[in-house]
Structure 1
Amino acid sequence: MKLRAGDWVEVKSKEEILATLDKNGRLEEMPFMPQMFEYCGRKFKIYKRAHKTCDTVYPIRGRRLSSAVHLELRCDGATYGGCQAACLIFWKTAWLKAANADGSNTQSLSQVGPTTGVSSIGTTEVDVIAGTYAEDVGSPDERRYICQATQLPVFTTDLNWWDARQYMEDVTSGNVTISQLLRGLAYASYNKVINAGIGLGCILRWLYDRAQSLWGGIPYPRRSGSIPVDQSTPTCTLNLQPGELVRVKPFHEILTTLNTENKNKGLYFDAEAVPYCGDKYRVRSRLNKFIDEKTGKLITMKNDSILLEGVWCRSRYSACRMFCPRSIYSWWREIWLERLPSDSLETTALLNRKVPVTPKN
């Protein structure tokens, strides 16, 4: 049974899930993370089918996986040294039951592991917790964590961008609409022409911007800053806190803060953040600690980043991983944001309604 975006499921009991796991707390090499136990027995709506994803451990690429979905649940980092990246959690269908919205008529989606709910190899919650880090070498500060993000290359397989079946499943799974698919393919095709080295890049980008302006779309998203790499990039301190409302600065203003590698103080500004430029959002959290997915080490940043509610990568401009459903939060420098005055009529109006979370086309 293949779940679609919008379907309802119930997370199985702790005993049933333990029955599917090996002694490292994994199923088909995908870790079941300790904080996932708190959702056992509860019902959730499917956010996206995770039939594919993006690998950020090795050079960025698309990857295929089977029998997995995303619910609208993110890692809180509590078991991982306080990591604040808030990654979307992967769920194997073996850990779920189909359910109606009212919770009736639940049924197992997979018969993995003994039906008695007792692991044949005796996996326990202690084993799951122990599986969150590699054996320590040296001081506790050198601990190497193991989570779904660090293990992603192991529980996925190669997926070539030209494999058309993935795009068909994007639509049939409910992950994207046909119109979104067509717009994405149109952009990818046009972008290849721009980068074909035929000497018309500037003209083609201008035509793209002109066409987008006719229906309120965003400008061509892959542009670079102009500050030399050996020069310092500008910064500012707003001390933004969760719940505050901000406006993302226009794209052309953000470009003035970037070097020629599109970085500000080491943080890359990606094309996937461009659709949010010019709109207003609520601050979700500050971020200064995250797990390096390549090494498993917990990194403390020299300069905090900001996460905004509902503002994540939608994989619209990434040729090798288009429409990846992983929805990684975009990281923002405070110099890319403007605080909205708390006493303004605009801020009051925004507080009384939902701040927009859907980027422009």
Structure 2
Amino acid sequence: MSQALKVGDVVEVLNAEEILATLDEKGELDSLPFMPEMLRFCGQRLTVHKVANKLCDTITGTGLRRMEDAVHLSAARCDGSAHGGCQTACVLYWKTSWLKRVDGPPTPEPARSERPLLPILEVNTRREPGPEGEERFRCQATELLRAAPERLPFRDLGQYVTDIRVGNAGVGSTLRTLFFGLFNRYQRLSRKFPRWLRIKGGLAWGFVQPGPHTGPAPTGTTDLQPGELVRIKSKDEIVATLTTKGFNRGLGFEEDMARSCGRTARVTGRVERCIDEKTGQMLEMKNPCIVLDGIICDGVYKSNCPRAFIPFWREIWLERINEPR
């Protein structure tokens, strides 16, 4: 049952038995897993936050991929409860066949999980063990290249028409993201040109330079806790903590994150565990990362990608500030 949904539509998530009827033996529909973490939303009315018509390939780095018949719902992120406590908080993908459009307001709280589906779904949250017997997981994020196998080139103008039509982005923001895309393509080409033809050394828009450190990057631990108020340091201050490859102890600082420099936000959590999308292994962080309330990737530099990642921040990139009176 495919239906054309738009941003702002109110939908009701089907019950567990109805969703089970759409899944294959792997617990998937069109290669997209339905995960145990999604059960708590069954029977609830939620609002379409974005139409998931495309996504960034964060596994192989091939750019955008086309997704069919899927949406993201407001306040519906994975809590990792069936995947070893993963704290990435990925936005969930909902096939339109798992939803029905309804009239009326959304319901405020998720329902309790419906147990009959759990045994089937829990089996499918694991892959075969790794080479050394390590536990490996399987989730929507690890399977996205199977669920969205078709590459979506930047020059495919139909994707931007769809963005505007379904409400993912307005005309102004779409023109802006097209400008950034064209500019970045020129920048990549300009690296083959004489230096005087390059703009800021051929860097992508956002102009995040590599850092100065050839050895280990500096650390900074301030024991930030949920609820505390912080200021994101300036781009120059953060770049000063990066290696020449642009990382701080394995964590990159990207152009999307630089857009938030100078903002204040509350700490929502300390991230210590996350699943590696490429391997399915659980990564244990020696130095926890910080996630901030309201700070997400809005896809401005990535062709309006609606995936809405929550960036991870090093504590050395943040400054604790006093509560305003």
**Same fold, TM exceeding 0.5?**
yes
The Cα shift of 1:137 comes to 6.1
Alignment match, 1:352: none
Quick one: which of 138, 141, 164 aligns to 2:157? 164
Counterparts of 2:230 and 2:121, CA distance in 1: 39
The Cα shift of 1:257 comes to 1.1
Could you tell me the percent identity over the aligned residues? 39
Residue type at the aligned position of 1:125: L
SS at match of 2:210: coil
Counterparts of 2:105 and 2:299, CA distance in 1: 33
Quick one: which of 242, 251, 272 aligns to 2:226? 242
Alignment match, 2:305: 324
Whether contact under 8 Å (1:225, 1:257) holds in the other structure is no
Whether contact under 8 Å (1:224, 1:261) holds in the other structure is no
Alignment match, 2:139: 147
* Residues 297-341 of structure 1: CA deviation (Å, up to 9, x unaligned): 1110121111111212122223xxx21101111110011101112
Counterparts of 2:158 and 2:316, CA distance in 1: 41
Alignment match, 1:357: none
* Residues 185-221 of structure 1: CA deviation (Å, up to 9, x unaligned): 122223333442342466x449x9xxxxxxxxxx951
Counterparts of 2:239 and 2:131, CA distance in 1: 42
Counterparts of 2:286 and 2:106, CA distance in 1: 46
Alignment match, 2:113: none
Structure 2: gaps (5+ residues)? 108-115
* Residues 5-43 of structure 1: CA deviation (Å, up to 9, x unaligned): 111101011111111111211111110001111111110
Greater Cα offset, 181-190 or 282-291: 181-190
The Cα shift of 1:87 comes to 0.3
Residue type at the aligned position of 2:91: L
Counterparts of 1:169 and 1:101, CA distance in 2: 26
The yes-or-no answer on 1:288 pairing with 2:280 is no
The Cα shift of 1:101 comes to 2.8
Counterparts of 1:82 and 1:13, CA distance in 2: 25
Alignment match, 1:21: 23
Pair 1:314–1:27, CA change in 2 (3 A): same
The yes-or-no answer on 1:226 pairing with 2:211 is yes
Counterparts of 1:194 and 1:13, CA distance in 2: 49
Whether contact under 8 Å (1:194, 1:200) holds in the other structure is no
The normalised TM-score by structure 2 is 0.89
Radius of gyration: which is bigger?
Answer: 1
The yes-or-no answer on 1:279 pairing with 2:263 is yes
The normalised TM-score by structure 1 is 0.80
The Cα shift of 1:243 comes to 1.1
Structure 1: gaps (5+ residues)? 105-122, 209-218, 349-361
Q: How does 1:1-361 map to 2 (within 5 A)?
A: 1-72=3-74, 73-102=76-105, 124-136=117-129, 142-156=134-148, 157-195=150-188, 196-197=190-191, 198=193, 199-200=195-196, 204-205=199-200, 220-229=205-214, 231-318=215-302, 322-342=303-323, 346=324, 348=325
SS at match of 1:48: strand
Pair 1:137–1:293, CA change in 2 (3 A): closer
Counterparts of 2:316 and 2:130, CA distance in 1: 39
Greater Cα offset, 275-284 or 128-137: 128-137
Paired positions, count: 309
CA RMSD of aligned residues (A): 2.2
Whether contact under 8 Å (2:86, 2:282) holds in the other structure is yes
Residue type at the aligned position of 1:127: I
* Residues 28-79 of structure 1: CA deviation (Å, up to 9, x unaligned): 1110001111111110010100011112122242111111000121000010
Residue type at the aligned position of 1:222: F
Whether contact under 8 Å (1:194, 1:201) holds in the other structure is no
